């Protein structure tokens, strides 16, 4: 239930489907989705007319991605179809990226200059901060419409209306998602101009924790933790070089919560970066993340299992924060900005000034006006304020969750947000 300002999803555990949701689920369940690595790669080659995927090590990771989703018996055919489309899109983009670099090897000489890289727990203000800094037109970022189609095809030429066809496709996709999950825009927006995480570029190498958000894939989680991610981060940088060649500038602002457990790898890949690390009460972040995901479960899973999902993400957040505590002080302190959620909300300008100072980027009057314009156009709760109820929906209270994270509070002066 909801009113114009408040969204309280009271049916997380026993979803009451809208007629449209029921119709889509029924239609999809009537059409089995077969996912194989061979089929994905063949479809990508057929779509693009290309065959060179670059370094072959990605194939092992793709095999694990495929096996992991095929083992998730709770996934609906909507989920399986989304995975098939997503895997094929990444494979096709990888083909186009390698082809572009083959034709223009000078791309690999492009310097990614002192990027501003945001890390932080999911739902800790990273998305807002990324989109805010991205409003500075001196910086390069990755809007959603570009993230899902980074390398334009011959059909992606801008027409007389000045609109990129990739933007139009992204807008259509967002409209479809909004119709299917209307409360999602209040939780995590995916409109065409919304700035995306760099996780979309990591996925071109078939790695990252991305697929953990969309299905129950412990096989992939365990494989991911058992393997060094340096190669995938290097591939992400290669994609950034190509995107810079297509459209500069070469100073980027990017973000991904996964960086919290990959700070050493991030520093190895971008040694001159400014590392902006957001901090928030893990309970506030977790309740937001699992509520958002379980809301989507009404179409993504055959039946909700709030307890399974709760326990999985409490453990996953612990791993993220253990990585941050372990590696934080190994980064050059002159290149780190720790951003605390409560301070960001109380005095955004002060936080911005510190980030820009560390990044050695003048916070000019024009830049500040661009940033303030973004803030004015995107007030917190623009699409509604979501109500969270841990006890009702997940059978746990804040203190039970927080006891898993004392090591984090011991390291950083994070304000307790959820009582």
Instruction: Supply the CATH number for residue 183's domain.
Output: 3.40.50.300
pLDDT in tens, 86-133: 999 999 999 999 999 999 999 999 999 999 999 999 888 888 899 999
Query: CA–CA separation, 184 vs 180, rounded Å?
Result: 9
- The answer as to whether 264 is a domain residue is yes
Identify the sign of the CA torsion 207, 210, 212, 214: negative
Please give the pLDDT value at position 2: 46
Q: Which helix (H) or strand (E) holds 112?
A: none
Tally of CB atoms within 10 A around 364: 12
CA-closest candidate to residue 300, choices 209, 220, 211: 211
Residue located via tokens 């916070």: 363
Query: CA–CA separation, 389 vs 291, rounded Å?
Result: 9
Q: Is the backbone of residue 229 left (phi > 0), alpha (psi -120 to 50) or beta?
A: alpha
- The answer as to whether 307 is a domain residue is yes
| Residue range 325-347: mean pLDDT, rounded | 96
Please give the pLDDT value at position 4: 59
pLDDT class of 228 with cuts at 50, 70, 90 = very high
pLDDT in tens, 364-413: 999 999 999 999 988 876 778 899 999 999 999 999 999 999 999 999 99
- The answer as to whether 416 is a domain residue is no
- The answer as to whether 184 is a domain residue is yes
Please give the pLDDT value at position 164: 94
Please give the pLDDT value at position 186: 87
pLDDT in tens, 168-217: 999 999 999 999 999 999 888 789 999 999 999 999 999 999 999 999 99
Please give the pLDDT value at position 115: 98
Position 272 pLDDT exceeds 50: yes
- The answer as to whether 418 is a domain residue is no
Segments forming the whole domain that contains residue 70:
6-411
Bond prior to 358 in cis (omega within 30° of 0)? no
Please give the pLDDT value at position 419: 86
| Residues 229 and 262 sit within 8 Å (Cβ to Cβ) | yes
Query: CA–CA separation, 333 vs 329, rounded Å?
Result: 7
Position 305 pLDDT exceeds 70: yes
Please give the pLDDT value at position 384: 81
DSSP H helices, 189-305, are 199-202, 218-225, 230-246, 263-269, 282-300
- The answer as to whether 299 is a domain residue is yes
Position 264 pLDDT exceeds 60: yes
pLDDT over 90 for what percent of the chain? 88
- The answer as to whether 417 is a domain residue is no
pTM to 2 decimal places: 0.94
Please state, rounded to an integer, the average pLDDT across all residues of the chain: 94
Residue located via tokens 């670059």: 54
pLDDT in tens, 54-94: 999 999 999 999 999 999 999 999 999 999 999 999 999 99
pLDDT class of 1 with cuts at 50, 70, 90 = very low
Give the chain's domain count: 1
Query: CA–CA separation, 408 vs 326, rounded Å?
Result: 10
Position 167 pLDDT exceeds 60: yes
- The answer as to whether 419 is a domain residue is no
């Amino acid at each position: 239930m909801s009113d114009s300002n408040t969204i309280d999803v009271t049916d997380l555990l026993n979803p009451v489907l809208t007629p449209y949701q029921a119709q889509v689920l029924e239609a999809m369940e009537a059409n089995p989705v077969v996912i194989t690595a061979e089929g994905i790669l063949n479809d990508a080659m057929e779509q693009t007319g290309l065959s060179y995927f670059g370094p072959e090590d990605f194939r092992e990771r793709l095999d694990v991605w495929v096996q992991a989703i095929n083992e998730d018996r709770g996934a609906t055919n909507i989920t399986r179809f989304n995975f098939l489309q997503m895997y094929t899109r990444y494979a096709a983009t990888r083909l186009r990226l390698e082809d572009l670099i083959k034709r223009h090897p000078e791309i690999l000489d492009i310097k990614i200059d002192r990027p501003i890289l945001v890390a932080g727990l999911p739902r800790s203000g990273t998305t807002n901060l990324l989109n805010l800094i991205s409003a500075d037109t001196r910086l390069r970022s990755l809007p959603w419409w570009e993230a899902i189609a980074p390398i334009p095809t011959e059909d992606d030429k801008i027409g007389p209306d000045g609109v990129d066809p990739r933007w139009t496709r992204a807008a259509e996709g967002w409209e479809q998602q909004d119709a299917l999950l209307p409360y999602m825009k209040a939780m995590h927006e995916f409109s065409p101009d919304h700035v995306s995480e760099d996780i979309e570029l990591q996925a071109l190498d078939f790695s990252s924790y991305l697929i953990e958000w969309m299905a129950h894939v412990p096989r992939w989680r365990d494989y991911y933790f058992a393997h060094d991610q340096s190669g995938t981060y290097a591939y992400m940088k290669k994609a950034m070089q190509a995107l810079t060649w297509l459209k500069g500038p070469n100073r980027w602002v990017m973000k991904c919560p996964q960086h919290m457990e990959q700070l050493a790898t991030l520093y190895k890949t971008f040694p001159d970066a400014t590392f902006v690390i957001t901090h928030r009460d893990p309970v506030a972040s977790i309740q937001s993340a699992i509520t958002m995901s379980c809301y989507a479960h009404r179409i993504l899973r055959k039946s909700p299992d709030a307890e399974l999902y709760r326990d999985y993400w409490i453990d996953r957040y612990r791993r993220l924060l253990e990585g941050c505590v372990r590696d934080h002080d190994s980064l050059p302190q002159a290149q780190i900005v720790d951003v605390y959620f409560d301070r960001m909300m109380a005095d955004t300008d002060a936080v911005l000034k510190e980030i820009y100072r560390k990044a050695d980027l003048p916070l000019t009057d024009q830049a500040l006006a661009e940033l303030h314009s973004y803030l004015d156009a995107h007030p917190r709760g623009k699409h509604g304020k979501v109500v969270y109820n841990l006890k009702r929906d997940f059978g746990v209270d804040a203190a039970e969750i927080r006891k898993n994270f004392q090591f984090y509070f011991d390291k950083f002066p994070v304000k307790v947000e959820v009582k």
